Structure 1
């Protein structure tokens, strides 16, 4: 296999050398500025070429006046000075330009034969694996049968069928990739792949949540607590989980009240609808099948903070069983919109009426 790979390398290197010599001879016989291949004049992404040797084209320039060619004697003389004085003398150096796609393709083929995670570099089979990759790149998939035949073995009927099928598939793919439609398909698939990688990165660990740092709790001012007004509040949500959205936020004190409906970003469960009588149909929010005015979460939370700031003193928020449910829902919403710090600056704290009842009436 190694001998076959070396022979294949010598054959293709010889073909490249002969082609380079013929190009150099043609360039030495010509004078002035010439385009050796049409690809030098391709418009990027168009797939249409202009043959500078035959001077035949029907292409209309999208960025030039009336779509016609640019004509200027002064510009022509400046370009001739640039090309003839600087670029033409160094044409042999500038002509050795190539794409790295062939090398990347070969590297990918070698990686399939000798994966890095297997550490074949310390194995004696590495040379055979690299040789097989070189043969597959140069000769196609029929190299297996050719190596068997050169070793005095049967090329294998099924092996020949398989290699012929793979070679046809590779030739068909190569032909399509050179067309304009093939390039568009490749570009679209690359964009889709990038988009998929982006979302996979965001959803890599959907069941994990970042645990915030432990916040420093300020000591309560006894005098402030004694004069602080009590503000009773309650939430209605889309479900019973702590990741539910708020669909209604209400609060009241002796002097003022606050009530607003909030359009959720997730569907309302049947259990929640049976309790709250709130439903969402399209962009409409209904209570008892009647439309109600609603706000988006950010605006609703902003209005609630404004309502708290208008209190004469920082209030204490009171709710029933809020320690297990309501506080977590409200905290998640405030943290999501980066409003938690501002919210905390307008209140003293929370009181769970359920714990108060248990303390006042033990065993209830």
Structure 2
């Protein structure tokens, strides 16, 4: 596995995370890393193979698949509702503002599901596909490995309004922390999960206000490093307010899952407002997050350990297990 020196620490952290899952009620108790060991024993290898093939032509796909799992779990829990296409009677979460024009990777999810349906028809849920794809993506980018809790079933309806309320990079830090806290994720989980921004890109429109009109001051964000500000202004000119040009979330190592993201923040080079605010917005609660940013910047092992633990916790947000649910044959539509 990637970064073997960090694996022992990650394994120790996951013991606590699995214990937490076991205390999460009857539904969480049904989730298990071994859920498909008999019914679809090659599920992990299949997911990994399809993602590796997709990565060859699309280096961005790892970050995109990781983001899909986040955006799924934060609405209705981890139920694959994000994957449902729009119908005449149901608005798709894909059309919500935080997802429209930015959430991507759906065809790769289709390819994973098709491969699994060929090997194990009707067995592996779309929600579990997203959870596995997120772990595989992190690992392939050089990040930690964790044993993914499995056994979810798929929801049968999207929640457009819920998707409209997904965490937004322009929101105040205290509002973002509260959204995570409402789902049982503490400040360490919040800072660790923000570390997913160590890979991937963001469109200019998500941070353009920081360059030209921060908080309606008609000035740039004073926390931005001046040379970094100049480079971003070249990429994102003021004349194009809806600019979709892509910029690396981590300008130092944009495609490697490491702790450089936190070092960037310490140097005032956090791309999104929500990144830099964890250090530079004491009036919004950065007193509790800034020390965590510093710890993760100084220890990749600690970051990996905390990220893996937080991902297991996030994957146990209201898991869909049993009841009036289903395992979709096609992730885009109900059976």
Q: TM-score, normalised by structure 1?
A: 0.18
Q: TM-score, normalised by structure 2?
A: 0.20
**Which of structures 1 and 2 has the larger relative contact order (alpha carbons within 8 angstroms, sep 6+)?**
2
